[in-house]
Amino acid sequence: MAKRNNNEAVQEKLKLVPAQPGCYIYKDEHGSVLYVGKAILLRNRVRSYFQSSAKHGPRIDRLVRKVCDIEWIVVDTEIEALVLECNLIKQHRPPFNVRMRDDKSYPYITVTDEKFPRVMFTRRVRKDKAKYFGPYPSAYAVRDTLQLLHKTFPLIPCGKSWTGEPVQRPCLYYHLGRCLGPCAGLSDRAEYGKILDKVERFLGGKEEMMVEDLKKEMEAAAEELDFEKAAKIRDQLNAIQTVLSRQKVLNNDQIDQDVIAVVKDDRGAAIQMLYIRGGKLIGQRQFVLDGASEAQPSEAVGEFVKQYYADSPDVPREILLPMEIEERGIVQTWLRQRKGSAVTVEVPQTGEKARLVDMAAANAEQALAQFAQELEQKEVWAEEAMGQLQDSLGLDMPPIRIEGYDISNIQGTAPVGSMVVTENGEAAKDEYRRFKIRYHPESPNDFAMMHEVLTRRLKAYVDGDEKFQKLPDLIMVDGGKGQLAAALKARDDLGLTVPMVGLAKRHELIYVPVEPAGELLSDIREMEAALAAPPPADTPYSYDRPAPKTYGFREVELPLTSPGLMLLRKLRDEAHRFALTYHRKLRDKKFGGSSLDEIPGVGPRRKRLLLRTFGSVEGIRRATADELAAVPTMTKALAVKVKDFLAEL
């Protein structure tokens, strides 16, 4: 029997829930989302959780006791509710929902939506008009496929976007017959479209149809005595048939299928998907589900199907499930609307389709075992790393949460700071923060910049900012004594006691602050007492204010392969990457956007041609005036003007 929720606010909200389709959101006392669900009739579904006679499992019982507020969103249809539920789960990632977790970024091949589409490698599926094929099991598989496509078909090899207008002379690939030359205005869109059609059929698993078409083209070319064209088509056929010989044929129906299986135990749940296109197995993918240890397998499968296909660029003709799910009918209707044609979601019991589900289940079992083993190894390594840092740095407790900081700038230009976080040895990317340096925009003073970043971060904690509400067990700054001293000054100004260390790249030494002892301490005690009180809240920021305390530093040298040092090095490298990425973004925005736009006579087309020719503003700056003048639409006088303008930046 469920334990009744006695929260008065919840009981009042239950009286107001409408009898309409929609989504409901349960929140805790802090306003955090606990659970998101959907219903045809919100009133009936929501009230069923809180009836004293309801029989729930332990997970739902805990949920009901924690609920302190209820919100709902009304929609018109159950399909709209299903889509909204998927989006809300993705946005809030509630702890009581079964959530799809994919630790890997799988590669795809995309055909862009342009006048002359490019066929490219990508790891990000965008909601645009481009076509996506995959996912592929590895980046090597994608690059191998792209290499075959570029050798077989005259696609754009340079990766640049062209409109078909003549903007430059054709390159060597055109003369070798490996490109149709859209950059020189030599390509016919209709001819290029026929090539893209063959490529898409190949990527979509329709190779046999393409092979038959190529054979007819080869025979026609031979009959017309165009043996050079026939030989080229023959080479294409040989390359494609080599790929076909590697693919495993699972059925002769040539139907596109996704086969889903689940394996669940007290460690959690793992989903295995097999991708079958045109009757051939072209790839597989594993997922681990969060929050599924206490959920029923059917619930885990149902939640996975909704969350996966909400973002999947491809919906096959058939989806095979290992068991019945509660909303199979509505899911099938939703997928048909997404695909725009027939989709069948079924649970096979016997025959070839059931065999496919069993094969996927066997792979899921292996995936779950491998995940559990990797998780155990990570936990052991993290415990060893944190324990080593506690002992070597003299910390009171293992540093569960460590924050790393770095500064990135070029001679004071576009200075930024980064904050990255690890918790239990794993990157907590949701906690990453970045800072645009405010007070030293032109001064290349890394110490002052580090002081500002730590001041802003720690002051945000003191002020109760939700984005900085957690205080770390250890702060690591990228640098030596100077950067660490600046960070310590920021901490002491605010009256905090967070442990801090610096990690110098040279010799990988860890610098640990040490307060002077004995006579030296007594000599500076009076000064510290005068400066120990934090400055008033309305005091303007200043790096020139004297430091509240004086420190010495001891050096800690750990073996390069030790877990503790490896954890700090990993954190430092991530802080450097995160800061550099933000710095480049600001720098490119400053120089790649506004600087060229400000040059009189350089409009959108000239800017596009300059960047396409030289790659970046820096490349334009390095080019000579004669090289700039050689770009189509440019003149010698304008080239000199561009050189002079960029030289002043």
pLDDT tens figures, 124-138: 777 778 888 877 766
Kindly state whether residues 423 and 513 are assigned to the same domain: yes
Kindly state whether residues 566 and 612 are assigned to the same domain: no
Residue with tokens 């020719």: 613
Asked if pLDDT for residue 11 goes beyond 70, the answer is: yes
What are the structure tokens assigned to 533, written together? 């009180």
More confident position, 108 or 451: 451
Residues 252-276, mean pLDDT to the nearest whole number: 79
Domain that holds residue 418: 401-577
pLDDT at site 251: 53
Kindly state whether residues 350 and 408 are assigned to the same domain: no
Among the residue ranges 446-460, 516-530, 574-588, 617-631, the one predicted with the least confidence is 516-530
CA distance 369 to 361: 12
R_g over Cα of the chain: 31
Q: Of all residues in the chain, what percent carry a pLDDT higher than 70?
A: 86
pLDDT at site 455: 92
Asked if pLDDT for residue 628 goes beyond 60, the answer is: yes
Question: Which of 133-137, 150-154, 324-328, 389-393 shows the highest mean pLDDT?
Answer: 389-393
| Residue that is last in its domain, among 97, 117, 144 | 97
Kindly state whether residues 445 and 353 are assigned to the same domain: no
Mind giving me the DSSP string for 474-513?
Answer: EEEEESSHHHHHHHHHHHHHTT----EEEE-SGGGPEEEE
Kindly state whether residues 417 and 506 are assigned to the same domain: yes
Asked if pLDDT for residue 193 goes beyond 70, the answer is: yes
Q: What is the mean pLDDT of the chain?
A: 82
Residues 213-221, mean pLDDT to the nearest whole number: 77
Q: Look up residue 75 and give its DSSP letter.
A: -
pLDDT at site 485: 92
SS3 255: coil
Kindly state whether residues 93 and 116 are assigned to the same domain: no
* Residue 232 maps to a domain: no
φ/ψ (deg, to 5) at 271:
-110, 135
Asked if pLDDT for residue 386 goes beyond 90, the answer is: yes
Residues 14-37, mean pLDDT to the nearest whole number: 90
Helical packing angle, 328-339 and 78-92, nearest 10°: 90
Asked if pLDDT for residue 248 goes beyond 50, the answer is: no
Kindly state whether residues 123 and 79 are assigned to the same domain: no
Please choose, from the candidates 65, 57, 58, 68, the residue with its C-alpha nearest in 3D space to the C-alpha of residue 14.
Answer: 68
pLDDT at site 36: 93
Kindly state whether residues 547 and 407 are assigned to the same domain: yes
Kindly state whether residues 453 and 559 are assigned to the same domain: yes
Asked if pLDDT for residue 38 goes beyond 50, the answer is: yes
CA distance 551 to 511: 11
| Residue that is last in its domain, among 75, 97, 119 | 97
